[in-house]
Amino acid sequence: MDTQPSKTEIDAAQRAQIFFEQYGNDFDGAAALPEFVIAAGDYISQIVGSDIADAGMALIIQGVVSASGSTIRSPSDWREALKESRSNCFSEWPIGEQLLELAAYAEYGIVLDDGVALQSSEDPKVLAAKIERLLGRAQELEASTPIAQWHLSASNELSRLVMIARNRWALDNNELVEPAALAYFGRVSEGRIRNMMSGADRTFTPNDGRISAVEAHKWLQGRPEFWNSIWREQSLVQYDATRIAPLRQPIFVPVARDGTLFHPGLQRAGSYTIGKRGEEEQVADFNDALEKLHRMPVAYWRRPNGNGNWGTVVADHWERVDALDFTISKTPGAAA
């Protein structure tokens, strides 16, 4: 009977692939941005008036809305339009890319390639500096957002991401870890962790309400749910080095690890988005896009996950399909 490899055995490239396929299902720091922007727009409207504020905010969110294939019917509708297009915030706003990269570190203990080979590095010092830069930017955004004053949720996705990333950094640098974060890493309730911090038979010795990295690591070693940090030892996350020459048969389509495939229904705003992060291009015609995917050493394309968030996936394998059956009604993951 085949057994699944433990998470400690899964390398950075595989972790990155899983991350991109699942991003937005449960962990998306950019999901908090629409509420932040709407609150900021409401605040501005109190000063300059709703007509002027609405016109300005409609321009600010236009790119996000356009990326979803929608339009803003009237400037006063910008709030609803932003909510409906919220899944594009991480890909269309500059901070979204940074939050995405921070999420890869927070959840999977890896550092993503920046998409530019000449700027890539496997030097742990360089990677550590990148993590600190990403974490610092997210903390700065959270600290500068008047969450309480604007009556925003204190448990918003940005704050959650910052908390998890901050505590993984604490784990990686032998610092104290917060109970809530340790509970997340081990996939147990915070109450259980706090119970383990009390009593004569306690597992953890509290230190200013937190837990030492040594004790936290010892406990996490017995938790199969935990993704250990491998960024210091990882090879740079690039799939290309693991693949061979591209396939060129037009009757083959790429299929991602989760079973979703490239199909004609993946047009967004009139185009298919193909290529790896940092090298993406928009192609209007499906056959042209498929041909380009065939010519890539490794095929990358964007598709929505189960929650409607558009993320980049990479070809795990290729499948032969009947071109006559392969129409716009083809659904992601459907059998060929």
- pLDDT tens sequence across 91-138: 788 898 899 899 999 999 999 875 432 245 678 888 999 999 999 999
3-class SS of residue 319: strand
pLDDT > 90? residue 152? yes
- pTM value is 0.72
Please calculate the CA angle 310-311-317 and round it to the nearest 5 degrees.
Answer: 125
pLDDT class for 260, splitting at 50, 70, 90? confident
Q: How far is CA 333 from CA 1, 152, 252, 336, in A?
A: 26, 37, 14, 9
CA 212 to chain CA mean position, Å: 28
Cβ atoms 131, 111 nearer than 8 A: yes
Tokens, residue 327:
């129409």
C-alpha–C-alpha distance, residues 142 and 328, integer Å: 42
Least confident of 36-45, 132-141, 173-182, 249-258: 249-258
- pLDDT tens sequence across 54-90: 999 999 999 989 887 788 999 999 999 999 888 788 7
CA 158 to chain CA mean position, Å: 12
pLDDT class for 4, splitting at 50, 70, 90? low
- pLDDT tens sequence across 46-60: 999 999 999 999 999
Sheet of 252-256: strands edge to edge?
Answer: 252-256, 310-320, 300-304, 272-274, 281-283
**Closest alpha carbon to 205 in 186, 177, 231, 181:** 177
Radius of gyration, CA atoms only, the chain: 22
